[in-house]
Amino acid sequence: MNKDLELLRRLLRAKDHMDRAPHQVWSVARLASVSGTSEAHFARSFRQAFDTPPHRYLLTRRVERAASLLRDTEMAVTDIAMQVGWESIGTFGRTFRDIIGESPMGMRRRLRAEAGSLNLVPPAS
């Protein structure tokens, strides 16, 4: 197998682990171990292959999961933050705002307002 394809397969294995369990702690050392590479080689290769560093990829996956829970459940924001892998609600809020562009509660309020305004639209005849 081509060396580049083998490396990509190994990187995808680590990425799949993060996708399946974004709430877990995924240090570069742990991800490098999953991919069978050194830490420096893993971090550099992951960024080149996926255009984002592994830590940023993981944070994005956590925020995506949190956004889904905010939209689809009535769970408290603090509970959502803890469930998706944050230990600090402040860090969760800052990271969420950085990635999504609004706070978790702001997003939830907006989505509820949008859903409520759909009820005002008359049905098609």
Whether 114 and 60 map to the same domain: the answer is yes
Give pLDDT, residue 115: 82
Q: Does the pLDDT of residue 114 top 60, yes or no?
A: yes
Whether 46 and 68 map to the same domain: the answer is no
Q: Does the pLDDT of residue 121 top 60, yes or no?
A: no
Q: Does the pLDDT of residue 116 top 90, yes or no?
A: no
Give pLDDT, residue 39: 97
Confidence of residue 120 (pLDDT cuts 50, 70, 90): low
Integer Cα distance of 47 and 56 in angstroms: 10
Closest CA to 19 of 58, 75, 66, 69: 58
Residue at 40 is within a domain: yes
What pTM was estimated for this model as a whole?
Answer: 0.84
End-to-end CA distance of the chain: 60
Residue at 96 is within a domain: yes
Q: Does the pLDDT of residue 1 top 60, yes or no?
A: no
8 or 122, which is more confident: 8
**DSSP character at residue 24:** S
Residue at 125 is within a domain: no
- Mention every residue, 6+ apart, whose C-beta is less than 8 A from residue 26: 17, 18, 54, 58
